[in-house]
Amino acid sequence: MSDPLRDPAEFPRRLYVRTFGCQMNEYDSLRVQRLLAPLGYVTVDEIEDADVIFLNTCSVREKAEQKVHSFLGRLRRLKNRRPHLKIIAGGCVAQQLGEKLLSRFEHLDIVLGTRGIGSIARLLEEVLEGGPRVACLPEADPSLAPGEEAFAEGNISAPVTIMQGCNNYCTYCIVPYVRGPERSRPVGEILREIRSLEDSGVREILLLGQNVNSYGRGLKDRATFVDLLRLIARETGVQRVRFTTSHPKDLTEDLMLCFAELGVLCKHLHLPVQSGSDRILSAMNRCYTAGDYLGKIRRLRAICPEIALTSDVIVGFPGESEEDFTGTMDLLREVRFDNLFSFRYSDRPNTRASAFPDKVDPAIGTRRLVELQSFQAEITLEKNLAETGLFREVLVEGPSKASNGQMTGRTTQNRIVNFEAPEWTSGKIVTVKITGAYSHSLRGSVILGPSTRPGNPITP
Ligand code: SAH
Ligand code: SF4
Ligand code: F3S
C-alpha cells in the first residue's frame, strides 16, 4: 500500500495553517502555502484532516503567547490519533523559544524561526524521511526568489512585506528581539512581486512593515517609502494600495501629500499613538509628544480631509497614573479615531519596560481598558452612522462569510460593506450607497452602471 505521505500523486498531502498575531505572520503563512504547494500540499479547513499543521505564533503580549501554548498542548491528542501527523511551529514564539519549544512539546516536529520560512520544504522532507526533530533559527533572510512569495490565488487583496524587523526598541515591545533588526527588501523585488500578484487577479495590495516610513534605509537603491509608493502607482496596474504600520515620529509631509496626490493610495492611515501622556510616551521611547502627534493629525487632515485614522493604544504601562490615563482619553476625544486597537500592558521578556518599577495593578489596567474601549466604541459607531446615505467606492472582495448571497468589500477608508450583488462583481470597484451602519461594518446597495473608475466597467 502507498504511504499517504510519500505519494502525493495518489494522495494529496493536506496542510492545515493556523495563524496568530499580525499581518506579517499572515504573509508568512501565505508563503508557507506557496512553498509547500510544489510538494503536493493543498490547504484544508479542518484540522482533523491534516497531514501537516503549520502554526504561526505571536508573542507580542502574554495572552497571545498563552494561546499558542494551549493550542500546541491540544495537538498532543490529535497526534496520538494521527501518528503520521507532522507539526511545525513558526513565528515569534518559535523564534523566542527555539529548542525550548521542541523540548516542551514532544509532539512538535519542527520549530522555524522568523527568518527560517524559506527552509520549510527541505526541513519537512527531511523529517518525513525519518530525520530528527529540528529547530531552525537562521540569522539572515535570503531575498525571495520568484515562486517563494506569498500564495495569492483567488485573492483580491494581498499583503506584500516590504521590510522586516524593527530598530525602534519601544520599551514595551518584543518585536525587535524576535524579528531582528530592520531590513528593507529591494525595490525591484517588491515591484516584481506586485506584478505577479496582479497577474493572478489581485487588485489591492497591503504593504507591510513594522515601520514602513523608514523603508529604504541601508538599501543600495536609496529609495524612500514615498519613492516606492510613487513607483507602485506609476509602474504597476494595482487599483489600490494600503500600508501598515507607520511610526508617528517618521511621518513626513511628503508621505502626507501622497494621500492627496496618489489616486491608488487608500485614504486610511493606521498611526499608533500608544498613549496621550508625554511622560508615558517618553518612558515608552516613542520619541514624540502628544502635541507632536496632534500636530501631524491636523496637518494630515488639512491635506486630505476625508482620511480615516486608526490607532493602537496601551493602557496600564508601568507608572501610568490616573492623570496619564486622562491624557490618553483626552487625545482620543480630540482625534476621534475611526477605529482603535487597545491593549492592557503586558510584561514581555527582555524588554526594558519589564524591569520598570511601579507596575500598574492589573485590575486598574482592566478598568481603564474597559472605560477606553466603551468610549471609543461610541465614536466608532457614530462615525459609521455618519456614512449612511453616502455613495462610496467599494472594492468587491468576494462573497460575504456572514450573510448568504451577499458580497463584501471595503471603502477606501477601510470600512467593511456588505451588499447584494452578483458574484462577477468580485475584483471590481463599484459604487455603493450606504444604507445602514453597525459597530464593525456597513450595509449598502450597489448602484449599477459604469464605475467611476476608468477601465473598470461593471459588466461581466
Ligand atoms: N510596529 C507596530 C506595532 C507592533 S505590535 C507599531 O510600531 O505600532 C502591535 C501593537 O501591540 C502595538 O502598537 C502596541 O499597541 C501593542 N503592544 C506591543 N507590545 C505590547 C505589550 N508589551 N503590552 C501591550 N501591548 C503591546
Ligand atoms: Fe514594536 Fe515600537 Fe518597533 Fe512597533 S516601532 S514594532 S511598537 S518596537
Ligand atoms: Fe506578534 Fe510577531 Fe507580529 S510578536 S504582532 S507575530 S511581529
Query: What pLDDT shows up at residue 26?
Result: 94
Ligand in nearest proximity to the CA of 272? 1
- Domain 13-136 homologous superfamily, CATH: Methylthiotransferase, N-terminal domain (3.40.50.12160)
Q: Is 174 a pocket residue for ligand 2 (Cβ < 6 Å)?
A: no
**Residue 182 grid coordinates:** 530592520
Q: Write the CA distances from 459 to 380, 388, 422, 423, 448, integer angstroms.
A: 34, 26, 10, 11, 9
Question: With 0-12 CB in 10 A as exposed, 13-18 as middle and 19+ as buried, what is 166?
Answer: buried
pLDDT at 139: 85
Question: What is the chain's Cα-based Rg?
Answer: 23
C-alpha cell of 415? 470600512
Query: How far is residue 197's CA from residue 174's CA, in Å, rounded to a whole number?
Result: 31
The number of beta carbons lying within 10 Å of the beta carbon of residue 352 is 15
The per-residue pLDDT for range 287-333, each reduced to its tens digit, is: 999 999 999 999 999 999 999 999 999 999 999 999 999 999 999 99
CATH architecture of 391-452: Beta Barrel (2.40)
Beta-carbon contacts of residue 168 (< 8 Å; ≥ 6 apart) = 176, 210, 211, 247, 285
Mutate to test the pocket of ligand 1, among 168, 314, 320, 366 (most ligand atoms within 8 A of CB): 314
Q: Which residue positions in the chain have pLDDT lower than 50?
A: 1-2, 4-5, 8-10, 450, 452-460
Domain 141-266 fold: Transcription Regulator spoIIAA (3.30.750)
Residue 229 to residues 135, 235, 238, 251, 264: CA-CA distances in angstroms?
Answer: 37, 10, 12, 14, 9
Return the ligand number nearest the Cα of 61: 1
Question: CB of 194 within 8 A of CB of 205?
Answer: yes
What pLDDT, on a 0 to 100 scale, did the predictor assign at position 12?
Answer: 62
Check if 166 has its Cβ closer than 6 Å to any atom of ligand 3. Answer: no
Amino acid identity at 106: E
In total, the chain counts a number of residues equal to: 460
Instruction: Kindly give the distance from the C-alpha atom of residue 106 to the centroid of ligand 1, in angstroms, as a whole number.
Output: 31
Q: How far apart are CA 80 and CA 155, in angstroms?
A: 35
Give the distance (Å) from ligand 2 centre to CA of residue 353. Answer: 13
Q: Using the atom order of ligand 2, give the atom closest to the CA of residue 285.
A: 2
Question: What distance in angstroms lies between residue 92's CA and the mean position of ligand 3's atoms?
Answer: 6
Backbone φ and ψ for 341, nearest 5 degrees, come out as -110, 120
pLDDT of the residue at 152: 77
Q: How far is the CA of 175 from the centre of ligand 2 (A)?
A: 6
- Domain ranges across the chain: 13-136, 141-266, 391-452
Determine the pLDDT at residue 2.
44
Q: Facing residues of 393 across strands?
A: 431
Strand partners, 294: none
